[in-house]
Amino acid sequence: MTSLGRLRPLAAGGLILGVAVCAAVLAPALAPHDPYAQAVGARLIPPVWEEGGGWTNPLGTDPLGRDLLSRIIYGARISISAAALAVAVSMVLGVLMGLVAGYYAGRVDTVISNLVNLMLAFPFLLLALAAVAVVGPGFRNMVIVLGLTGWPIYTRVVRAETLKYREREFVLAARALGLGSWRVIWGHVLPNLINTIIVMASLEVARMIILESFLSFLGLGIQPPTPSWGSMLGEGRVYMFTHWWLAAFPGLAIFMTTLGINLFGDGLRDLLDPHRVLAAATARAE
Amino acid sequence: MTVYVAHRLLQALFVCLGISVITFLLLHVAGDPVLLLLPQSASDADVALLKQKLGLDRPLVVQYIAFLGDALKGDFGQSLFTQESAFSLILERMPATLELTLAGTLVGLAVAIPLGVLAAIKRGSFLDRLSTVGAVGGQAMPIFWLGIMLIILFAVKLRVLPASGRGTLAHLILPAITLGVYLAPLTMRLTRSGMLDVLTQDYIRTARAKGVVERVVLFKHALRNAAIPIVTILGIQFGRLLGGAIVTETVFAWPGVASLAVKAIRTYDYPVVQGSVVFLALLIVVVNLLTDLAVAWIDPRIRLGAGRD
């Protein structure tokens, strides 16, 4: 593939992601209706291309007569911000633990590595489910639970990379000059890991959106009437035998957003990771 | 090998202990089961009585040791609602979960391996690009939505397959496809890259130079060697597979352990939650352990590397 061809997924992903983020940021301007406004006379209207549908509610309405399109647009706010916050929490925690384990090695490393193995052995979803059930549903609790259960993946990668860098000449030189551990980690190790961390975090946002949606789908995440894609899908599931659009569109929104993020993250990895690109170039050369 | 096995066993034991501690703490410290069970109007005396009845008035350490001792005997307490033993509830549901995960794995492999091999052989072709695009799409798919869409299409619109439940082979089709789609993309990508790796090896060139038929080169020489990383990944992915099973079982009302756990979580039936979380986690530990040991047995480089990663 040409170098321009390699940028295609990045561009496609960026475009989809851009649309989703715009929807989230500009929701009040874009949504044709108030996402909370109920209309008893306009219950369960089908999408515009089905018989009985109309342009007033292009994607139809829910059992309370609320406009589905507006709720999906507002849902972008909840789903994307919950996922981004959860990723921020788990990333900070995971990266810190990884740096400490990799740099100090020895006993600290043993403890942290075993903790990572322990967390990775858990069925992550079940752990998050049980934790949310215990602390109670809601936006804040869900972000905390997803953040506190999602860190090991960063720790594992950052630890391995830090172990590699701590023996490199420039790090040894910085230590020989008498810099403190934290200054070496902060100024000389971490900057080399930034690309890896950005790529991981961007891909994790997609995973967190799906997890958040599933928790809300089960009724353990965002609570009604707040529109989130997962809780809308959960509500729509009840009506799937008679009114398919209620489940179809919120799920499509989740799918498109995670697809956009994955394409973007993969593209970013190809762009930022020189090792990988070099490896690909050698592979092409043979 | 003995050193490696001992090291791995010890590590697994540690993980098991950790799992029991986390599950126990989660349910006893992060939340108070009694407050969740009683109505808000319950008096302090009611709370104290129920605590005493459930043994929750004892110190945490005592409770944990009792929990661990009972768990080792397979006793996770009784369901707060049906009064049945949590462990027997879990065992009862186990065959359904195994059936689903096995069927899902078969569907996933049946799609992923041929596609991965073909994509590697015909690298850069239309098929390669199509399957790569398919894999990216599959990885982004929220499978609970996919499951619902399959139900709407095949059970509601076309009326050819049942929407939920377990019993006949027809009941298994949609859940198995859903779980298969969850598993296939990563497996396909790994098969493709594994094959590409192997195809550039010297022994493949030698085989070709000897005049061995291409089909034999691919299947006898290449795929066999590419199979080692695939098996490893399948074993490591077992946790992911169970995660997928939780989602699939919920969507299709499949009567397995995962849907039991989800239901128990929603009704605060904490002995069942505790039992199923520990049980599923132990299952993952055992499968990971067996995978590691199997791989070490096949590949001497790993066991001679003496256990450190």
- Residue A104 in any domain: the answer is yes
| Cut 0.80: pTM above it | yes
- Residue A42 in any domain: the answer is no
Which domain covers residue A169, as residue numbers? 76-241+261-285
Mean pLDDT, residues A210-218: 92
- Residue A14 in any domain: the answer is no
Q: What is the CATH number of the domain that holds A236?
A: 1.10.3720.10
- Residue A35 in any domain: the answer is no
pLDDT higher than 50, residue B217? yes
Instruction: Check B22 against A118: CB less than 8 A apart.
Output: yes
> Three-class SS of residue A61?
strand
Chain B hits for A123, CB-CB cut-off 8 Å, are: 239, 242-243, 246, 277, 280-281, 284
What ipTM is given for this predicted complex?
Answer: 0.87
**pLDDT (0 to 100) of residue B305:** 58
Return the minimum-mean-pLDDT range out of A118-127, A268-277, B231-240: A268-277
* From A118, A247, A266, residue closest to B19, measured CB to CB: A118
**How many percent of chain B have pLDDT more than 90?**
28
Mean pLDDT, residues B146-169: 92
**pLDDT (0 to 100) of residue B36:** 66
- Residue A10 in any domain: the answer is no
Chain B hits for A248, CB-CB cut-off 8 Å, are: 149, 152
pLDDT higher than 50, residue B309? no
Provide long-range contacts, Cβ within 8 A and 24+ apart, for B118-122: B119/B188, B119/B192, B120/B191, B120/B192, B120/B193, B120/B195, B120/B196, B120/B199, B121/B195, B121/B199, B121/B218
What confidence tier does B141 reach under pLDDT thresholds 50, 70, 90?
A: very high
Tell me phi and psi for residue A221, to 5 degrees. -110, -120
Q: 10 Å Cβ neighbour count for B66?
A: 12
CA–CA dist B247, B175 (Å, integer): 10
- Residue A82 in any domain: the answer is yes
**Nearest-Cα residue of chain B relative to residue A283:** B200
Instruction: Check B247 against A283: CB less than 8 A apart.
Output: no
Chain B hits for A133, CB-CB cut-off 8 Å, are: 31, 265-266, 268, 273
What confidence tier does B18 reach under pLDDT thresholds 50, 70, 90?
A: confident
Q: Are A284 and A276 in contact (CB under 8 A)?
A: no
Q: How far is CA B55 from CA B10, B47, B235, B271, in A?
A: 32, 12, 39, 12
Counting one residue from chain A and one from chain B, the pairs whose CB atoms sit within 8 A come to 137
* Residue that is written with structure tokens 């690109």 in the block: A277
**pLDDT (0 to 100) of residue B271:** 85
* From B14, B19, B145, residue closest to A251, measured CB to CB: B145
Smallest Cα distance from B152 to chain A, Å: 6
What confidence tier does B308 reach under pLDDT thresholds 50, 70, 90?
A: very low
**pLDDT (0 to 100) of residue A276:** 55
Q: What is the pLDDT of residues A97-108, one digit of tens each?
A: 999 999 998 899
**Nearest-Cα residue of chain B relative to residue A264:** B136
Q: Which amino acid, residue A151?
A: W
pLDDT higher than 70, residue A2? no
Instruction: Check A206 against B15: CB less than 8 A apart.
Output: no
pLDDT higher than 80, residue B40? no
Mean pLDDT, residues B137-144: 92
Instruction: Give A258 or B230, the one with higher predicted confidence.
Output: A258
Contacts of B263 (CB under 8 A, 6+ apart): B269
Instruction: Give B16 or A258, the one with higher predicted confidence.
Output: A258
> What is the count of structural domains for chain A?
1
- Residue A51 in any domain: the answer is no
- Residue A215 in any domain: the answer is yes
